[in-house]
Structure formats: structure tokens, C-alpha cells
Amino acid sequence: MQKSALGYYALNIFLFAVAYLFLRYGYTHITNPFLQEFILIILGTLATVSITALLLNKQTELELSKEQQTKYLEMKSEVYKEIIHTLEKYSIQEHLSAQDLKRLEFITHKLSIVASLPVLKAYNSFLKNVAFIFKDQNISSIEADKLSEELAKLTISMRQDLLGNTDKGTSPDIAFYIDDNSRHSIQNF
């Protein structure tokens, strides 16, 4: 909890306690039943206002946090889409130039802003394999399989990162099809 929020809560509690003591003092010293009821109404109103203010403050805090998480997820999703599109663009090229490899390396900086550790590790592994495989510009079927395996791992880690740690959707079957699809698409890489 933030320091300012704690101060706000402490101030509310203090004001409520002072108002309660003041009204309680007035209630015990007033003999007129009408004025006693009026003091009880004021006390009830103060309690309602204080509780409502605390609840609204907490609700606003939760809504801002949710909005921030949504924007972060959207930014993460956009970066992941951009990576997939970049890899798709490079997959139809026969050769990757040193400049293309540099572009792939700079994606690491975008990933470092939003990606989880498993995504960073998977991309790093993928990048190392791409650099090694394209060093001689000759891709064997074993190297293509290795590349597709790394691409599948990257895709799966991106999926899990986007869906969260509680992703029940990335079952072994889904992982198999992601890997299988990437193997078939990478044959022309």
C-alpha cells in the first residue's frame, strides 16, 4: 500500500473518531430527544460518508491497476505480433543478411521491456540458432528442424506469457500442433 493511501486512511479514521467523540459528548449532555435523534442522524451520515469514501478510493485504485495491466498486456501483445510478422517476413527470404540478423538482435530490446523470462530465454536461444545456422547460408534439414523447434518454443512461451501462469490452454496437444505447424512452415525457410 502506498504511503499517501495510508495517510488518507489514517486521516479518515482520525476525523471519524473525533466526530464520534464530539457527537457522543453532545448526545450524552442533551436531554431533548429530538436533538439526540438529530445527532444520531449526523453520526450515521458521517459513518456512511467515510465508509463510502474508503470503498470508492479502493475501487478507483483497483480500476486503475486493471487498466494499467490491460495496457501492458496490449503492449506485450503488439510486440509479440511484431516479432511474429518479422520472422514471417524473413522466412520467405532465401538468405539473411548481417543487417537482417542485427534487426533480429534489436528485437531483444523490445522484448526486454515487456517479455517474461521464459520468452527472453526462448528468443535468445532462437536468435543464437538463427545466427549459427545462417552463418554459412546453407540450411540442412536437421538445422531447419532445430530452427522450427526453437520457433515453436518461442511461440509457446509467448502464448503462456500472454495467457498468464494459469494457462490451462497450452496443453501438450497444443504444444505439439504449434511445433508441428512450425516444422512444416520452416521447410521453406
CA distance 184 to 179: 9
Label residue 163 by pLDDT band (50, 70, 90).
confident
pTM above 0.85, yes or no: no
Round the average pLDDT of the chain to a whole number and report it: 79
Residue 165 and residue 141 in contact, taking contact as beta carbons nearer than 8 Å: no
Q: Is the pLDDT of residue 188 over 60?
A: no
Helix, strand, coil proportions of the chain in percent (round to 5)? 85, 0, 15
Reported as a single tens digit per residue, the pLDDT across 92-125 is 776 777 888 888 888 888 888 888 888 999 989 8
Which one of 12-21, 24-33, 106-115, 142-151 scores highest in mean pLDDT? 106-115
Q: In whole angstroms, what separates CA 117 from the centre of its chain?
A: 13
Q: Is the pLDDT of residue 186 over 50?
A: no
Q: In whole angstroms, what separates CA 138 from the centre of its chain?
A: 40
- Write out 135-146 in H/E/C secondary structure: CCCCCCHHHHHH
Average pLDDT of the segment spanning 5-21: 77
Q: In whole angstroms, what separates CA 9 from the centre of its chain?
A: 28
Per-residue pLDDT, 178: 62
Q: Which helix (H) or strand (E) element contains residue 150?
A: helix 141-163
Residue 186 and residue 148 in contact, taking contact as beta carbons nearer than 8 Å: yes
R_g (Cα) of the chain, nearest Å: 30
DSSP string for residues in 64-128: HHHHHHHHHHHHHHHHHHHHHHHHHHHHT-S---HHHHHHHHHHHHHHHHH--HHHHHHHHHHHH
Q: Letter for the amino acid at 16?
A: F
Label residue 63 by pLDDT band (50, 70, 90).
very high
For 138: left if phi > 0, alpha if psi spans -120 to 50, otherwise beta; the answer is beta
Residue 127 and residue 104 in contact, taking contact as beta carbons nearer than 8 Å: yes
